[in-house]
Amino acid sequence: MRIAFAGTPRFAAVALGAILDAGHAVALVLTQPERPAGRGLKPRASAVGELAVARGLPIQSPRTLRADTGAADAQDAIDRLQRAQPDLLVVAAYGLILPQAVLDLPHGMAGAGPPLRAINIHASLLPRWRGAAPVARAIEAGDEVTGITLMQMEAGLDTGPILSSQAIPITPADTTGTLTERLAQLGAGLIVSWLDEAARGQWQATPQPAAGVRYAHKIARSEAWLDWSEPAALLARRIRAFDPEPGASGRLADRLIKIWSAGWRPDRPDAAPGTVTSADAGGIVVACADGALVIHELQKAGGRRLHAREFLAGTPVSAGARWQPPGPAGDPR
C-alpha cells in the first residue's frame, strides 16, 4: 500500500515509524514548519520531520494547505501530494486544517461505500473529546478511560465514521505527557494492524453515535493559572492535565511559580481559598473552596522542578501565606 503521512509531534512520529517498520511505502510526509525551541529559540524540525529526514523520506512543510489563500507553499504541497499518488493519507496530530480537496487526492481503498481516502489516528474514544486537546481534557474531566480511534476523515471536526478503536485506563498518576506516550504506542500498533486488515479488504466504517459528543478545546495559557476558589480535586486534575504544557501556575507573594504535582484532601479548612494551612516535607497544603490541595512539586521562574522539601529549604513558606487569585483575563493579579 502506498501511503502519504501527515503529522507533527512525537505522537505522530511513533505511528510513522511503526508504519515504516511494517514495510509500507510512504511516498510523502507532510509536517508543520520548523518552530523556535529550546533556550536559544533556534528553529527546530518537528518530531515527524526529524524522523522523515532520518529515514530519507520526501517532506513538505507548508504553513497552510488552503490553496485559496494564495500561499505558494500550499499549492506546492498539494501538487506534490497529487504527484505522489498515494492510495491512502494517514493523519495523526498534524495541526493544520485539511480541506476537502486535499482529502480527496488519494486514490482510495474500495469498500462497501465510497472509497476510503484519508484516515485519522485520534487520541480519544470518539465521539467523546473531538478537537485539539483530547488527552488533557480527558484528564481534566476525571475520565477513567480513554483510547485511540481510527476515523475516516471528512470535512467536519472529527465527525467521520469509526474504523477501529481501542481503550486504555487513565491512571491517577497520569499526566498529559505520560498518557500521550502510552496512546502513541497504542495508536501505532492499531494503525499497523488496521492497515494489514485493510490490505486484505477486511475493513468497515461505523457512523459515530449522536450521543456523548464532547469538544476538547485547545488549552489556553490563561487556563494554567489556578483558581483557588475551585474544588481541590479539580485543581489536582488540571495540574496533571497541563503537564508538560503549559504547566499549572500561580503567584505566591511576589513569586511566579509553576506547580507540577499535587494531591488533594477532602479537608474543610477554616481558611480562605488560596491560604497555606501548612508547609513541610510532606507538601504545601492550600485551602480551596472544597477540600485542600497538597502541592508536592514546584518550580520557580528560571529554576528547576523541586520536591516540596527541597523547595521549602530555599524558599520558606509559612502557614497563612496566600496564593493570589487569577485576574479577570486569567493572569494573576
DSSP letter for each residue of 52-100: HHHTT--EE--S---GGGT-HHHHHHHHHHHHH--SEEEEES--S---H
In this predicted model, what pLDDT tens digit does every residue of 242-273 receive, in sequence order?
Answer: 999 999 999 998 899 999 999 999 988 789 99
State the residue for C-alpha cell 504553513: 63
- Alpha carbons within 13 angstroms on the beta-carbon side of residue 282 total 7
Q: Quote the pLDDT of residue 72.
A: 86
* Ranges of each domain in the chain: 2-216, 222-314
Residue 218 has pLDDT above 80, yes or no: yes
d(CA 262, CA 293): 7
- Distance (Å, whole) CA 122 – CA 132: 10
Question: What does the alpha-carbon distance between residue 329 and residue 333 come to, in Å, rounded to a whole number?
Answer: 10
Write the CA distances from 22 to 3, 30, 195, 253, integer angstroms: 12, 20, 10, 55
Confidence of residue 240 (pLDDT cuts 50, 70, 90): very high
Burial of 87 (0-12, 13-18, 19+ CB in 10 A): buried
Residue 161 and residue 205 in contact, taking contact as beta carbons nearer than 8 Å: yes
Rounded distance between C-alpha atoms, residue 293 and residue 283, angstroms:
9
Q: Is the pLDDT of residue 307 over 60?
A: yes
Chain centroid to Cα 228, Å, comes to 25
- Percent of the chain whose predicted confidence (pLDDT) is above 90: 84
pTM for this entry: 0.95
Average pLDDT over the chain reads: 94
The SS3 assignment for 217 reads coil
- What is the mean pLDDT of the segment spanning 275-292? 96
CATH architecture of 2-216: 3-Layer(aba) Sandwich (3.40)
What CATH topology corresponds to 222-314? Methionyl-tRNA Fmet Formyltransferase; Chain A, domain 2 (3.10.25)
pLDDT band at residue 328, thresholds of 50, 70 and 90?
Answer: low
Over residues 72-91, the pLDDT tens digits come to 899 999 999 999 999 999 99
The pLDDT assigned to 40 comes to: 73
Q: For the purposes of burial, counting CB atoms within 10 Å of the CB of 147, is it exposed (0-12), middle (13-18) or buried (19 or more)? A: buried
Would you call the peptide bond into 127 cis, given omega within 30 degrees of 0 as the criterion?
yes
